[in-house]
Structure 1
Amino acid sequence: MDVDLTAQPHLGVLTPYLNYTLTARNTGPATLTSATLTATLPVGASATNLATGCTSATTTVTCVFGSIAADASASKTFRIHPDHMACGPRRGPDPPAGGQPSFAVRPFSGLFSSVVA
């Protein structure tokens, strides 16, 4: 099983957010009967707009996927608002000229805490 995570920003003036998509792809020769993905959220964050089959606890989002045929995939989504992400000065030495800015957004640290298939 392959697992992907993508983030798509929604830059609305009143309610900006990041829409995350968890995708489970069955790379095996047989149908996968179920899969559970658990994502660890940043400190102080909470997830909203959870897809059917996903639940949120204090520090995690857990999504349960049903049957996935061989060479097929299934996706689940959730949102996090920017005010829930860790933002601040970049740590470490200054980048070389033309390099990374000195301010960075660090939305997640080790997103997947577990994958069960």
Structure 2
Amino acid sequence: MLNQSLNTRRPPSVLLEVAGEYRHIFARVQSKDISESGVLVRTAETPTPLTEFMVRFVLPVAPQDIAIESAGAAARALPGVNMTIVFMNLREEQRRAIATFVTQSSAGPTQPPEMPR
């Protein structure tokens, strides 16, 4: 019988560090929740709009990982559930790296996983 977990593909994710004046949050963010303009963070923290943060994460983009650090601001929040942070000062190469990460992770695996023997 085929093990169903072998066929389950979870979207790639990155560990995101969000540091603010009074908060420090670590969150795992799936690739579908990040774009060149910002990131959706699932967190019970509910900042007021325009609260500023420093956002740091590393993207697993071929051929090497890319470190991203950017100022950001809370654009909106669903209290106790999530918040959207808009990037404020990404460099062009960082935007390209995010776009590449999203594209690569959306493409899925190029080969099916090997069956265990």
Query: Does the pair score TM above 0.5?
Result: no
| Range of TM-score over shorter length | 0.3 to 0.5
Higher relative contact order (CA closer than 8 Å, sequence separation 6+): 1
Q: Greater helix percent: which structure?
A: 2
Q: Greater strand percent: which structure?
A: 1
